Amino acid sequence: MKIRAWFDNIQTDVRHAARSLRRSPGFAAAALLALAIGIGGNTAVFSVVDATRVRAIPYKDPERLVNLIGNVDRGVVERRGASYPDFLDWRTQANRSFEDLAAWDSQLQTLSGTDEPERIETEFVSASYFALLGATPALGRTFREDEDRVAKPEFVIVLSDRLWRRRFAADPQVLGRTVTLNARPFTVVGVMPPDFLGIENEAQLWVPFAQYAPPKDMADRGGRGFFVLGRLRPGVTLEAAQSEADSVAARLAREYPTTNEARGIEVSPLATELFGRLRRGTQVLMAAIVFVLIIVCANVANLLIARSEVRRREIALRMALGAGRARLLQQLVTESCLLTALGAAGGLLLAEGTIRLLMTQSPVPFPLIFTPGLDTRAAAFTIAVSFVCGIAVGLAPWLQIRIADLSARLKETSRGSDGPRAHRLRNVLVVAEVALAIVLLVGASLMIQTVRKVAAIDPGFDPESLLTVHVSVPRVTTETGAPPVVTWRELLERIGAVPGVTLAALGNDVPLDGFGANSFTAEGQPDTFTAQNRPRAYVHRVSPGFFETLRIPLLIGRTFVDSEIVRTSSAVIVSERLVSRFWPGQDPIGKRVKLGPADSKNPWMSIVGVVRDVRYRRVTAELDRDPDIYLPFADSNSQIALALRTAVPPTSLIAPVRAAIRAAHASIPVYGVAAMDERISRQSSFSRFITWVMGVFASIALWLCALGIYGVMSYVVTQRTREIGIRLALGAQPREVLTTIVAGGARLIVVGIAIGVVASIGLRRVVSAQLFDAPLTDPAAGLALLLFALVGLAACLVPGLRATRLDPVRALHQE
């Protein structure tokens, strides 16, 4: 019976709440709009965060999948990948924690023979790779263990569904067909299903890992670079797996000190590798939108407190007639839950559009497995949020009347006094709103300043009007040392003749390509270096005119001349960082360096020039501590990166440059065509995305907070109408009344700003990974505080001005 009575009371309260909302359409509209924004925004961002959960990875038991990554301690632990001998040892010696391991890495390979040559994202994988991921082919099979032997690898490939449909017209007879990959014939043995694109979700075909490098390189324990996929055994924790990996690494360091000293193994969850950075950014957004929701709840709570003051005689009568405080709490919470439920319904509609906007307007290329949307988890989250908000909002007016004097309530008319308890509660809510809004505004200003500072970074070259193009020049035959189908000089001549191209140069890479580093020896360097701390440099082979084309300043000496553009040239150009490390204060021209250790057979090379340091790997990171070494270009390089200085917008030359390359030889695939400005912009795209969304949230918080301040001050003026009328009748100046009203609001704003600034210090620590040299003392943060103060004072000023225009006689007779 008690349960039935409780349900009857709920039904009565819901009907009463619905009638109450219909009688106050202005209040209902304002509250529902605010709740829809707050709850809808939370649902949208939750869907984005939820899409990065482990279960979103479309593989078998994804929580047990890990990457094993080789690293080296060079004062700072750096990831360096694995070598094939290391991988084989890991596989046999770490079998207590792992069911199996598979080597894998991705490269661009040239697919030809079926259509125009094309560079295809290819994953080199061990035979166990597919079983570890729980992937089965849609057609045919995957690799057998005997096809993945380094001594005698088989030339077989597995196609993705996308490539099968695009290049092979979804031919069911594709199995057994021969295709040409990097000028070698491969046999198709399988086709994967549409939802499988490999670990990085970009692979279009798979090749046995034994094809990754020549047998000699695969046998080199010191040659590292690829990753290892592993599956934890059931019940094995990540900590236990890491402990066993540490033991294996220590054992290998003792057995092979020359190559494995200070080498470790990092066991990292696959979900962290795929979603790590995205998770950090979306968690910041989740915290921001939660702040917005709290501001919304504070606003609605203040509105309900105001309504409860209007209804105070009604509430007192209900209590006099026997309604207990628990029954009254149930009624108030039911009313607020109905309000938040209606707001949540509108929020779901808003969330759907917000998710689409986030995905379409984001400059970040999300992984294909990242698919946020409104599902049952999002709906459950929305229901939970609306329920919690309903309780929180309903508690506010109940706390105000919890210990009210019943007899005083019954005797009240409308004297215009709501008592100190309601006044204090409203003030606390306003201060909380201000503090949270300040945190969001400061956070958004820091992100904006981060993006501005990243854009102002000098990369060491001039990216304006610079087009980068990558090509893969095949050989006349597959014989080792066979000449290329076109020389680099002919390629440059053809591209340089394209109208609009003012300068052209090439190299094995250009800035932002991110090639790996090589060890080197500088003449006269100390003998204290070991295999683990030996100096390293990024080595580039470039044509004459490379530095002029990219506008990399020459500091000392000269650049290459045509006679030096041969493989046996002893001329070398280095970056200033190398010179400052080994020959500070000396003339570096004529000093010598060689690749590899001092006892290697590589020839010594003489420095002919020194150029400025370039941010070759990543513009948004700190300048790399490893310097750059430039060698003369040679036709033995098949992968070529072109840099073109243009007199017209770079992107307008993409089609004619492609045509010029195709005219040089039809077998040359062209890929990675982009303006350098665009490539630099991509590196800051994630920060810009977070900044954009944070800015939207901060703007919403600013105006919600301003409305909250305005609402409270307006209510104060309304409640004090009689008092203000008496003061004006007794000769008080309007300026004094205005000062009193504005000062009351200003005190709340100042306290809220102070709390918000302190909280912002903690915010900076949370989002430090997304910030680039943006201190809280930055002028942008100061401007954000000033903007909020002005908006807040304006919200106080409007009700204050209305108070100064009160007619004392009408005010005294109003009640």
Summarize the confidence of residues 630-640 as an average pLDDT. 82
Residue 795 vs residue 530, higher pLDDT: 795
User: Per the structure block, which two tokens stand in for 162?
Assistant: 């996308």
User: Is the distance from CB of 45 to CB of 360 less than 8 angstroms?
Assistant: no
Least confident of 125-139, 275-289, 631-645: 275-289
**Please, which pLDDT band fits residue 406 given cuts at 50, 70 and 90?**
very low
What integer pLDDT is reported at residue 420 of this predicted model?
57
* DSSP per-residue codes, 201-228: T--SEEEEGGGSS-HHHHT-TT---BEE
What percentage of the chain exceeds 70 in pLDDT?
81
Lookup result for tokens 């290819």: 122
Least confident of 14-28, 257-271, 300-314: 300-314
Rounded to whole angstroms, the Cα distance separating 727 from 730 reads 5
> Where do the DSSP E strands lie in 4-97?
65-73, 77-79
Q: At what angle do helices 376-401 and 419-455 cross, to 10 degrees?
A: 140
Summarize the confidence of residues 405-411 as an average pLDDT. 49
**369-387 pLDDT, tens digit each:** 667 777 788 888 888 888 8
**Please, which pLDDT band fits residue 410 given cuts at 50, 70 and 90?**
very low
Residue 606 vs residue 318, higher pLDDT: 606
The alpha carbon of residue 197 and the mean position of all alpha carbons in its chain are separated, in whole angstroms, by 21
**Please, which pLDDT band fits residue 684 given cuts at 50, 70 and 90?**
confident
**Please, which pLDDT band fits residue 297 given cuts at 50, 70 and 90?**
confident
411-to-307, 317, 402 alpha-carbon distances in Å: 19, 11, 18
Biggest CA-to-CA distance, the chain: 106
User: Per the structure block, which two tokens stand in for 340?
Assistant: 């938040």
Rounded to whole angstroms, the Cα distance separating 645 from 291 reads 48
**Please, which pLDDT band fits residue 165 given cuts at 50, 70 and 90?**
very high
Summarize the confidence of residues 678-684 as an average pLDDT. 82
Rounded to whole angstroms, the Cα distance separating 661 from 116 reads 13
**Please, which pLDDT band fits residue 462 given cuts at 50, 70 and 90?**
very high
| Range ranked top by mean pLDDT from 347-361, 471-485, 524-538, 561-575 | 561-575
Q: Is 811's pLDDT higher than 60?
A: no
What percentage of the chain exceeds 90 in pLDDT?
28
User: Is the distance from CB of 623 to CB of 613 less than 8 angstroms?
Assistant: yes
Summarize the confidence of residues 153-166 as an average pLDDT. 93
Q: Is 48's pLDDT higher than 50?
A: yes
What integer pLDDT is reported at residue 403 of this predicted model?
45
Summarize the confidence of residues 139-160 as an average pLDDT. 92
Summarize the confidence of residues 222-232 as an average pLDDT. 90
Determine how β-strand 628-632 pairs with β-strand 536-542.
parallel
Of 265, 273, 257, whose CA–CA distance to 221 is shortest?
A: 257
Phi, psi of 403 (to 5 degrees): -120, 35
End-to-end C-alpha distance for the chain, whole angstroms: 46
User: Per the structure block, which two tokens stand in for 265?
Assistant: 């193994």
Of 643, 666, 528, 523, whose CA–CA distance to 583 is shortest?
A: 523
Residue 697 vs residue 662, higher pLDDT: 662
Q: What integer best gives the mean pLDDT of the chain?
A: 81
Q: Is 118's pLDDT higher than 70?
A: yes
User: Is the distance from CB of 386 to CB of 343 less than 8 angstroms?
Assistant: yes
* Beta bridge partner(s), residue 124: 105, 207
Summarize the confidence of residues 116-140 as an average pLDDT. 92
**Please, which pLDDT band fits residue 696 given cuts at 50, 70 and 90?**
confident
Of 113, 429, 160, 489, whose CA–CA distance to 298 is shortest?
A: 429
